[in-house]
Chain A
Amino acid sequence: MLKIGVLALQGAVREHIRQIEELGCRAISVKSAEDLKELNGLVLPGGESTTMRKLLDRYELLEPIRALAAGGVPMFGTCAGLILLATEIVGYDTPHLGVMDVVVERNSFGRQVDSFEVEMSISGVGEDIPAVFIRAPHIVAAGENVEVLAKHEERIVLARDGQFLGCSFHPELTEDLRIMKYFIEMVREHTNVLVH
């Protein structure tokens, strides 16, 4: 059974765990470097990115997660998780994990009163996928190897850079499992490559 970790420092952890389990995989709450062992994939959930960064530092998780990324393990970031993955954040000198070749801007759709939900068609994933945007970031620029999977109001909101999947919105707040399923397929492909 595939083991998929969910960074469990703060935020929408249980929602991701529910989706992972519903898709027949084992979900692991990641609170320390020890929990990263033998993971086939890692989800970085929504929450407050500034808070998560502080906690990543305090629990010395930044380098172990970077090492996991360097080993090719697929990672999926939603909202704050996308901000953690990005190599550049508008208005900040340094990134957090800095592994996914995108530039992101925080809170780029406005404050909470501007938060919204919408249905989107996503190439390679499906039609009418509910997308919940909460004080959401967006991808301002993507590297040449990044595949843009979805846009909203001309802004990139879902993209894949090889092993990394980054999303502005929160698929975990809905019952729709298709985006998580897409990620789990990425994990399966990677794991199969390792086995063969």
Chain B
Amino acid sequence: MKLVGTERVKRGMAEMQKGGVIMDVINAEQAKIAEAAGAVAVMALERVPSDIRAAGGVARMADPRIMEEVMNAVTIPVMAKARIGHIVEARVLEAMGVDYIDESEVLTPADEEYHLLKSDYTVPFVCGCRDLGEAARRIGEGASMLRTKGEPGTGNIVEAVRHIRKVNAQVRRVVGMNTDELMTEAKNLGAPFELLLEIKKLGRLPVVNFAAGGVATPADAALMMELGADGVFVGSGIFKSENPEKFARAIVAATTNYRDYKLIAEISKELGTPMKGIEISALDAKDRMQERGW
């Protein structure tokens, strides 16, 4: 019997993206540049995170016309963002045939208490996380892929580093624990017990975990790979840089060959000015997107 939307089909899609770069784009032209540079997928948006940050107000799902335009422009998968807990935005994106939905803290949450029950959908979801508890809760709801939250639209890698280190340290801790210690760990993390059992058995998270939120240079992308990310999301970094084409190619090359430092030096030459970064401590707590969701 033919089955669609199974866990294996949804998680498998993310497995195919490993080692790759997923780029934020706002139109067909940018999507083509991303595809030509070797992106494994594009995230279709109305505004990149740094512009969302600058614009303020409520950020919602993009105009479906943008998704449609991007889907028609490229053959690589197209992702799109829905607000946390916004059942209808997610269903609309699914009905349009986007390949992956990001239930994203970059948009203004629609629900401050409940995330989407992602296992209910045929389309796979990616969700943000800052630690293993948050990661496990999202997987428990049916997320097929994770990404560290970082602090989107800042061009500052410090939060993404904090989050990937934390998740991976907590995974290592679970793997090293005795099975009789896992229920207490589940309680402490606020994580489903069965997932911790699975993590212990696999020796890793059961889904792919990308890095996101603050990647602004090829070296940043390589750093995230070095710290154990399965791939990288680049939001504002690429199309806010001086030479997006060159910049996009450089990010892809640095992600694939993250330990080839001579190559990273070579591709980092004369890339022009990267996006202007924001010091995290200069952000008010209310402006920190990573605090959205739980």
- In the complex, A48→B19 CA distance in Å? 10
* A-contact 0/1 string along B99-141, CB 8 Å cutoff: 1100000000000000000000011100000000000000000
- In the complex, A117→B252 CA distance in Å? 31
Residue pairs across A and B with Cβ atoms less than 8 A apart, 29 shown, are: A10-B256, A11-B16, A11-B18, A11-B20, A12-B12, A12-B15, A12-B18, A13-B18, A47-B16, A47-B19, A47-B40, A48-B16, A48-B40, A50-B35, A50-B76, A51-B76, A106-B75, A111-B77, A111-B99, A112-B77, A112-B123, A113-B99, A113-B123, A114-B4, A116-B3, A117-B3, A117-B9, A134-B12, A135-B77
5 A-B pairs with least C-beta separation: A112-B99, A54-B38, A10-B19, A48-B40, A173-B12
Q: What residues of chain B lie closer than 8 Å to A58, measured between beta carbons?
A: 253
Q: A50-B76, A51-B40, A134-B9 are in contact. Are A118 and B2 (CB under 8 A)?
A: yes
The yes or no answer to B161 lying at the interface (CB within 8 A) is no
- In the complex, A87→B40 CA distance in Å? 23
Q: Is the CB of A13 within 8 A of B99?
A: no
Q: Is the CB of A31 within 8 A of B257?
A: yes
* B-contact 0/1 string along A112-142, CB 8 Å cutoff: 1111111100000000000011110000000
Q: Is the CB of A112 within 8 A of B15?
A: no
- In the complex, A48→B9 CA distance in Å? 16
Q: Is the CB of A12 within 8 A of B252?
A: no
The yes or no answer to A15 lying at the interface (CB within 8 A) is yes
How far apart are A151's CB and chain B's nearest CB, in angstroms? 14
- In the complex, A15→B20 CA distance in Å? 16
A: number of interface residues (CB 8 Å): 37
- In the complex, A15→B99 CA distance in Å? 22
B: number of interface residues (CB 8 Å): 38
Q: What residues of chain B lie closer than 8 Å to A112, measured between beta carbons?
A: 13, 77, 99-100, 123-124
Q: Is the CB of A10 within 8 A of B257?
A: no
- In the complex, A7→B3 CA distance in Å? 29
Q: Is the CB of A13 within 8 A of B2?
A: no
- Mark out the residues of chain B between 227 and 259 whose CB falls within 8 Å of any chain A CB in the assembled complex: 252-253, 256-257
- Mark out the residues of chain B between 33 and 51 whose CB falls within 8 Å of any chain A CB in the assembled complex: 35-41
How far apart are A118's CB and chain B's nearest CB, in angstroms? 5
The yes or no answer to B272 lying at the interface (CB within 8 A) is no
Q: What residues of chain A lie closer than 8 Å to B100, measured between beta carbons?
A: 112
How far apart are A170's CB and chain B's nearest CB, in angstroms? 6
- In the complex, A105→B228 CA distance in Å? 34
Q: Is the CB of B5 within 8 A of A48?
A: no
The yes or no answer to A191 lying at the interface (CB within 8 A) is no
- In the complex, A112→B256 CA distance in Å? 24
Q: What residues of chain B lie closer than 8 Å to A111, measured between beta carbons?
A: 77, 97-99
The yes or no answer to B269 lying at the interface (CB within 8 A) is no
The yes or no answer to B1 lying at the interface (CB within 8 A) is yes
* A-contact 0/1 string along B23-61, CB 8 Å cutoff: 000000000000111111100000000000000000000
Q: What residues of chain B lie closer than 8 Å to A9, measured between beta carbons?
A: 19, 256
Q: What residues of chain A lie closer than 8 Å to B6, measured between beta carbons?
A: 116-117
The yes or no answer to A20 lying at the interface (CB within 8 A) is no
Q: What residues of chain A lie closer than 8 Å to B122, measured between beta carbons?
A: 113
- In the complex, A107→B4 CA distance in Å? 15
- In the complex, A97→B3 CA distance in Å? 32
The yes or no answer to B268 lying at the interface (CB within 8 A) is no
The yes or no answer to B65 lying at the interface (CB within 8 A) is no
Smallest CB-CB separation from A58: which chain B residue?
B253
Q: A10-B256, A113-B123 are in contact. Are A46 and B16 (CB under 8 A)?
A: yes
Smallest CB-CB separation from B231: which chain A residue?
A10
